[in-house]
Structure formats: structure tokens, C-alpha cells
Structure 1
Amino acid sequence: MDVASDPADEDGGNSRDGVASDEASDEGVRQITLRSPNEIARFFAGWKVLEPGVVSCSQWRPGAVDETSVEVDEFGGIAVLGDSR
């Protein structure tokens, strides 16, 4: 099983996370790489991504997105290698 999550850049770099990463890099702190859900999905190449796919981490539930949870700017997914029967 493979699990990945990442801070998201859903609004083209105008998020608070983007500002925080710029400030942190100026101070010599490790820089954050913001990725879109599609960019995160590429980490699963060759794996079978389980439903609901790469979604907001607060909304991920096995089989379906939890529409009642507030979306956060961190996306993730779970995948298995090979047949997932």
C-alpha cells in the first residue's frame, strides 16, 4: 500500500501556504513544494488508486468523499500495487 499527501496549490500560488513557504525559504527553513491534486496523483503511477482518489485529506473516506467535512488545502490518496481484490 502507498499513501501520499501534500499541501495543495489550488489557487495558482496565491494561498497562505505559498506565502508561508516563501517566507520560510527567506529564513533558511526548508521550502515547501505546493502541488495540485493532479500533480500528487502522479506519485501513484503504476499503482491502483483507491476510491475516492486524490481528494482533500479532511474529506477522504474509503469509497466516497465526505461532503460534510470542511475541505483543507492538503490533498492525499491511498493506492495498492497490483490487483486489490
Structure 2
Amino acid sequence: METQAALEQSEILDGTLFHIQINRCQYIDSFPEKVANVFKENMNGHLVNDFKEIRDDLSEIETNFFKINKKRINEEEFYRTLYERITKRARRA
């Protein structure tokens, strides 16, 4: 999927924190930063990889986030909707 501009690390982190907030989730570790790093590493210039490629990297993140929020959010759904949010933001940038 092509985007018009690559996002800065801080923009990805802001989007991740916002996504956590609107899903009413809690976190105690560096989960948002780890997620932002995965997205940034997977963005190649103006290209954002397909969710299927990013999903594997995201699922490797060591975190208690999904244990803490298991009644609120499903891991696959959380990452998929975050991917949609980040790529939408990248297209507008």
C-alpha cells in the first residue's frame, strides 16, 4: 500500500497511544514504544507494508498488554485496527 509520506516516530507513537486510549486499555510496560518501533521499521520510505507482514512482527512483542486488557480487546483486532489508523494517517501526511 503506497502512502504519500512516511510518518515520524512520534506521530506513530501518538497514534498508538490514542488507539490505546479510545479502546480504554491500560499498559504498564513500554508497549506503545515497541509498537511504534515495529511500524517505523516496517515503513520503507513512502511504502507501508501489508498488515499480514507487520502482524508477525507485532505478535513478537513481549508485553503484558493483552493479558491486562483481555476483557477489552483481542490482540488481532487491536493490531489490525491500529494498522488501519496508522496507514490512514500516513496517507493524509
TM range (shorter): under 0.3
Which has more helix, going by share of residues? 2
Q: TM-score, normalised by structure 2?
A: 0.25
- State the structure with more CA Rg: 1
Which has more strand, going by share of residues? 1
Q: TM-score, normalised by structure 1?
A: 0.26
Say which structure, 1 or 2, has more relative contact order (CA 8 Å, 6+ apart): 2
